[in-house]
């Protein structure tokens, strides 16, 4: 009986200690959030300056600076398809002072292409807030017989040779969309990766490639000049900025592909700090001036809860990894 009593007492003490530690964790996390931020925040953008991710990051940083009353400084860390910047944030202290401007490629594509290093980096990150999205579009030469996506599929099926499609590179959302169209539409397509949008647009206008998978903001100058036309948008919803573009999913279900932008932090960042950042992002995305700047980039603000973003991450990763597996996509063609 004495032994049992001793065991009971020890168990009670251990449970009490665990409960106290848990309570202290909540208190310390809440205290950290109350004091946060107490110094400048670094927003790592893992892509080169001047692109849509960089511009979005700077617009967001300006708004967060106003809301959080501390400077938010953009730090471009490029390399390995975004893996350099992603790894940097993954290894940073989980205190809310080092954040990542992520695209879906970092968590939905890179692990399948770069392997364990990319997988480990993603596993060491936590979702904070979804920021914006932009649907991919298909552009063709203005002289192309195809005036919509259905017409393009008809052309591809009738062609004796595979139609060529340009993209910004192997393993991009753009490339995966092309592979998805080829499989779902049962047509033959030949991938032509480019290093820059300028060369791809020039080849499309000059007739060197049959089609280009790109963003509206990238294609718009050539569209306005009458050199190319948009025949399909990879979205299940009407693209409000240009509702006249046919939705590909109406012809070929399941061919929606949105380029996705988000904010992430090191894993184990205290929940109150994540909530504070999510709230600040919501304020930014509801700001009309931020909305107009995003519209110039062809982006639609999204926002939402941390849980919403986590679910979206999972769905995007499942879609992209399925395409990579089915098409046997490799980094080197």
Per-residue pLDDT at 130 exceeds 80: yes
Q: What pLDDT was estimated at residue 3? A: 46
What are the chain's domains?
39-133+259-327 (3.40.190.150), 135-251 (3.40.190.10)
Provide the sign of the torsion angle of the four alpha carbons 45, 47, 48, 50, taken in this order: negative
Residue whose structure tokens are 């679910």: 311
Provide the sign of the torsion angle of the four alpha carbons 37, 43, 44, 46, taken in this order: positive
pLDDT band at 333 (very low <50, low <70, confident <90, very high): very low
Q: What pLDDT was estimated at residue 239? A: 86
Residue whose structure tokens are 């030949």: 190
pTM of structure:
0.86
Q: What pLDDT was estimated at residue 32? A: 61
User: Which pair of structure tokens corresponds to residue 333?
Assistant: 């063609």
Per-residue pLDDT at 28 exceeds 90: no
pLDDT tens per residue across span 251-288: 999 999 999 999 999 999 999 999 999 999 999 999 99
pLDDT band at 81 (very low <50, low <70, confident <90, very high): confident
pLDDT tens per residue across span 159-177: 999 999 999 999 999 999 9
Residue whose structure tokens are 């879609």: 319
Cα separation, 222 vs 315, whole angstroms: 33
Range 32-61 average pLDDT: 91
> β-pairing, 41-45 with 98-103?
parallel
Cα separation, 74 vs 19, whole angstroms: 40
Close Cβ partners of 224 (under 8 Å, ≥ 6 residues apart): none
User: Which pair of structure tokens corresponds to residue 81?
Assistant: 């398809």
Range 23-35 average pLDDT: 61
Q: What whole-number percentage of the chain has pLDDT above 90?
A: 79
pLDDT mean across residues, the chain: 90
């Amino acid at each position: 009986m004495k032994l049992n009593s001793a065991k009971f007492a020890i168990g009670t003490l251990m449970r009490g200690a665990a409960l106290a530690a848990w309570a202290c964790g909540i208190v310390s996390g809440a205290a950290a959030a109350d004091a946060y931020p107490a110094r400048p925040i670094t927003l790592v953008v893992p892509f080169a300056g001047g692109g849509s991710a960089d511009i979005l990051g700077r617009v967001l940083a300006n708004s967060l600076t106003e809301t959080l009353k501390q400077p938010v400084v953009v730090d471009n860390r490029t390399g390995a398809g975004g893996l350099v910047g992603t790894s940097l944030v993954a290894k940073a202290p989980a205190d809310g002072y080092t954040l990542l401007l992520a695209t879906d490629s970092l968590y939905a594509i890179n692990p399948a292409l770069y392997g364990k290093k990319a997988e480990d980096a993603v596993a060491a990150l936590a979702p904070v807030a979804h920021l914006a999205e932009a649907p991919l579009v298909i552009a063709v030469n203005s002289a192309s017989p195809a005036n919509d996506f259905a017409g393009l599929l008809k052309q591809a099926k009738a062609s004796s040779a595979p139609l060529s499609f340009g993209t910004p590179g192997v393993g991009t959302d753009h490339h995966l969309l092309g592979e998805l169209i080829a499989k779902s539409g049962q047509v033959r397509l030949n991938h032509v990766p480019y290093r820059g949008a300028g060369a791809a647009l020039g080849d499309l206008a000059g007739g060197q490639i049959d089609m280009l998978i790109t963003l509206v903001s990238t294609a718009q100058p050539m569209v306005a000049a009458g050199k190319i036309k948009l025949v399909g948008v990879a979205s299940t919803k009407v693209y409000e900025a240009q509702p006249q573009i046919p939705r590909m999913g109406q012809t070929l279900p399941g061919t929606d592909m949105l380029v996705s932008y988000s904010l992430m932090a090191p894993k184990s960042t205290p929940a109150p700090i994540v909530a504070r950042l999510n709230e600040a992002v919501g304020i930014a995305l509801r700001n009309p001036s931020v909305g107009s700047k995003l519209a110039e980039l062809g982006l639609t603000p999204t926002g939402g809860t941390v849980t919403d973003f986590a679910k979206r991450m999972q769905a995007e990763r499942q879609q992209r990894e399925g395409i990579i597996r089915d098409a046997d996509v490799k980094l080197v063609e």
